[in-house]
Chains A and B, each alone.
Chain A
Amino acid sequence: MNAVTEPHRPYYIPNPSPYPVVLSGALFLLGLGAALRVNALTAGWWVLGAGALLAVYVLFAWFGRVIGESRAGVYGLQEDRAFRWGMLWFITSEVVFFASLFGVLFYERNIAVPWLASFNAPHSALAPFSPWPHFTAQWPNGGPAGQGFEVVNPWGIPALNTLLLLSSGVTVTWAHAGLRAGRRTQLKAGLALTIALGVTFLGFQLHEFSEAYRVLGLTLHSGVYGATFFILTGFHGLHVTIGAIMLAAMLARTWRGDFTPENHFAFEAVTWYWHFVDVVWLMLFVFVYWL
């Protein structure tokens, strides 16, 4: 089943490496900084900053190292497959992460809010005891003690953003086709176009958030609607940002002459990630903005 296609080539086992332990240290600092910061301790900013700097540095060094190894040709088919499976499982765990957030949206909207309103039902024996006597179930909902707010019109910026991300899915595939066919100009153009679309998406998204806060009164404090809206769109935006950074790294590597039509795992991994982010957006558009 896993026939070793290169029988004389032992699997590449890297030498002892400082990056993992230092990256753990960086994440420790990030965690510590965050925990201090949310409790209004100023030292938190410094610890967070130190952690972030260290993390960025290690990521550069670690990825640089792996890219160096790849260029030196130490990776064979088996290593390549290992990376692919690793990336796929990582994306799977991300899928679970977003699925749980959608699960939360489902629970709040279809279980929690109707439950809270059910105490007021006309024939309910509990009606005299209802903690929220005037509450009715509807969506969007800011909760029985919430302030009023308006929601984002799905057919404005969100629809445009859907178009942007869907086209970016096409352009990245076009870039990939270029890479496979050895047309490097197409590859570069496709990548640049994808990044541009992604950045535009992010810009629109930021604009939408600021509108929500300033004009619509829709904030993190707007009950379950605001909470689920911002956590879902916020984490998606974070993933688009990460994806765009990774695409930019791919563009830089392309410029440097990396990737061959046969061997370009890193590029493929980033496209998988980008498509994943696309699909999440479609779900967001339907379940958060539209329905």
Chain B
Amino acid sequence: MSGEKVLRLGLSGVIGAAFLPVRAQARAFYNFQTPVTPIARDVLFIHDLFLVIIAILFAAGIGLLLYTVYAHSRRRHRTAATFTQPVGRKQWLWASTPFVALLIIDYVVLGIPALHSIWALADTRGAEMTVQVTAHQWHWQYQYPAYGIGFSSDLSTPARQIDDRAPKDKHFLLEVNHPLVLPTHEKVLLVLASSDVIHAFWVPAFGVKQDVVPGYLRQTWVEIDKPGVYRGQCAELCGVGHAFMPIVVQAVPPAQFQHWVAAERAREAAVQATASATYSEAQLILRGRQIFQSNCAACHQSNGLGLPGAFPPIAAGHPFAASAPMLAALRARGFYRHGLIVEGPVPNHIRIVLHGIPGTPMPSFAAQLSAADIAAVITYERNDFGNHTGDVIEPATVAALKDGH
């Protein structure tokens, strides 16, 4: 390890010298985010090493090129040489040195730290805690099996900022309503799954990027050594909302983490209680608007018009063309008549939100939204966007359908 330290010190010197003028803002502007896990530090070390090596190789190459262009132009070198290959043992020896050097760079200088890091990354043993991460189109869901808590984490940037109708805040597109909270100095195993297509979990400060594959599990681990908020994004194209499913991790000291767990448990219990509560229409619509903006607006749009051809409108009286399974599903549920979206029966509406429409991008929200939230969003949808059904859905109705299925 000490050898590595010396190397690292030397490297930062070289890099510092090479990029002296911009060194001041280097970390913030064009370098990796400051690493906070052992893996991220390894990767940054490799990256810095690479940078130096390819800078040297490039400088050597371009130096030779510029020299020969200068010295062997017709003006300075009237008769061209005629050699076509190395001659004699000495020349062959010289000619082969670059390749020997390249092999050493590949397999020794870079290969050894790479192998070290790959093995470290694969070593998921001895985790003190496990978090299940599930990717959905287009948000993340986190579950803590040891504590019986879990929640989904949605983009919290308001649509108005994305539409350029409001000034953007500092963490535009990298902020969520409910960050993943992890304790520092504990090895945390992340078990990753996907409910629909391939996504990728990526937090640059952790040095971890892991694709999640529907129907399969993936695992990786982090051990964060500094409290703070770390932001990342989905790194595999997963449809139209790919840019809008950030990952925000809040790392807190273990003691504080236990406090958070207790608070979170209490909050979830309160949410459970809402399932049997009754609310006024105004309360439901108010809550429903928030739920809609953070869960539904990515596809159905905040104005409820959807995206013609891809995502059906919620708004009244708008014709719709879509894939055959989507149209069939809508027709079967009474939502689609004469080419227009109409208000179908309430139980069907609830079922669609609870279970999604298989074969289409419409996901299941049963695991992510509470009964009260689903009641709220459906009430909102049926009484806004030009719809005037007057239906008020009680959380208990949703809870009954949820359990009955």
Contacts and interface: CB of A to CB of B under 8 A. Distances in A.
Q: Touch between A and B in complex, CB under 8 Å? A: yes
Interface of A: 39-40, 115-116, 119, 125-126, 128-132, 144
Given A129-B217, A131-B217, A40 B191 contact: no
17 contacts: A39-B324, A40-B324, A116-B215, A116-B216, A119-B216, A119-B217, A125-B189, A125-B219, A126-B217, A126-B219, A128-B145, A129-B191, A129-B193, A129-B217, A131-B215, A131-B217, A144-B215
A131 B191 CA distance: 12
Contacts of A40: 324
Nearest to B192: A129
A119 B324 CA distance: 35
B379 to A, nearest CB: 33
B324 A130 contact: no
Given A116-B216, A129-B191, 6 more contacts: A39-B324, A40-B324, A116-B215, A125-B219, A126-B217, A131-B217
Interface of B: 124, 127, 130, 132, 145, 189, 191, 193, 215-217, 219, 324
Contacts of A131: 193, 215-217
A116 B218 CA distance: 11
B113 to A, nearest CB: 27
Contacts of A125: 124, 127, 130, 189, 219
Contacts of B124: 125
Contacts of A130: 217
Contacts of B217: 119, 126, 129-131
Contacts, number: 27
A129 B144 CA distance: 12
Contacts of A115: 216
Nearest to A41: B324
Contacts of A132: 215
Contacts of A39: 324
Contacts of A116: 215-216
Contacts of B191: 126, 129
A126 B216 CA distance: 11
B88 to A, nearest CB: 32
Contacts of B324: 39-40
A67 to B, nearest CB: 46
A105 to B, nearest CB: 19
A73 B130 CA distance: 78
Contacts of B216: 115-116, 119, 131
A40 B324 CA distance: 8
Nearest to B189: A125
Nearest to A119: B217
B360 to A, nearest CB: 14
Nearest to A145: B215
A126 B217 CA distance: 8
Contacts of B189: 125
Nearest to B125: A125
A132 B189 CA distance: 20
B198 to A, nearest CB: 15
B213 to A, nearest CB: 10
A130 B219 CA distance: 12
A144 to B, nearest CB: 8
A70 B124 CA distance: 69
A223 B167 CA distance: 51
What are the nearest 4 A-B pairs in CB distance? Answer: A129-B191, A126-B217, A40-B324, A119-B217
Contacts of A128: 145
Contacts of A144: 215
Contacts of A126: 191, 217, 219
A42 to B, nearest CB: 13
Contacts of B145: 128
A119 B130 CA distance: 15
A40 B219 CA distance: 41
A213 B368 CA distance: 40
Given A39-B324, A40-B324, A129 B132 contact: yes
A39, A130, A131 pick with most chain B CB within 10 angstroms: A131
Nearest to A40: B324
Nearest to A128: B145
A132 B215 CA distance: 8
A122 to B, nearest CB: 16
A115 B217 CA distance: 9
B124, B191, B324 pick with most chain A CB within 10 angstroms: B191
